[in-house]
């Protein structure tokens, strides 16, 4: 069920990209990145335990976007937008994927550390 939801959101993002870009090269790069990220996210979401990590990632991404006018978040988003020509949609999917994998890494590392201590 959630795979369909992610696919629909991805289609909406691609439609948004078509209306916001004038340069076809930048549009192509963003669409390719969106397709790759959508495939990776759909592949991860097919595993049932991955949904909670993506919910954590969505929370962290929303916090980054809320505080995007301050400090390091402002710098990060501006570098991605101005230097790498990534749209906000691509940035959001990239952040969600990165935060999800970071939360998986932290959870697995802490679980292994707890097992070693016991």
pLDDT in tens, 41-88: 888 888 878 888 988 998 998 888 888 888 888 888 787 777 777 778
Using 50, 70 and 90 to split pLDDT, how confident is the model at 92? confident
Start-to-end CA span in the chain (Å): 39
User: For the chain, what are the domain ranges?
Assistant: 2-117
The two tokens of residue 34 are: 């969106």
Exposure of 14 in the CB half-sphere (CA atoms within 13 A): 16
The two tokens of residue 4 are: 């369909």
- The Cα-based distances of 55 to 11, 16, 76, 79, 112 in angstroms read 20, 23, 22, 26, 23
**Which residues neighbour 13 within 8 Å (Cβ) at sequence distance 6 or greater?**
34, 89, 93
Is this model's pTM higher than 0.85 or not? no
**Which residues neighbour 113 within 8 Å (Cβ) at sequence distance 6 or greater?**
none
Q: How far apart are CA 61 and CA 4, in angstroms?
A: 21
């Amino acid at each position: 069920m959630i795979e369909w939801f992610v696919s629909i959101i991805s289609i909406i993002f691609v439609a948004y990209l078509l209306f916001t870009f004038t340069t076809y090269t930048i549009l192509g790069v963003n669409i390719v990145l969106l397709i790759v990220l959508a495939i990776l996210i759909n592949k991860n979401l097919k595993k049932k335990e991955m949904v909670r990590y993506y919910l954590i990632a969505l929370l962290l991404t929303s916090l980054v976007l809320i505080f995007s006018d301050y400090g390091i978040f402002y710098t990060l988003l501006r570098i991605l937008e101005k230097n790498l020509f990534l749209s906000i949609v691509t940035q959001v999917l990239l952040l969600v994927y990165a935060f999800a994998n970071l939360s998986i890494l932290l959870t697995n590392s802490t679980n292994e550390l707890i097992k070693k201590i016991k």
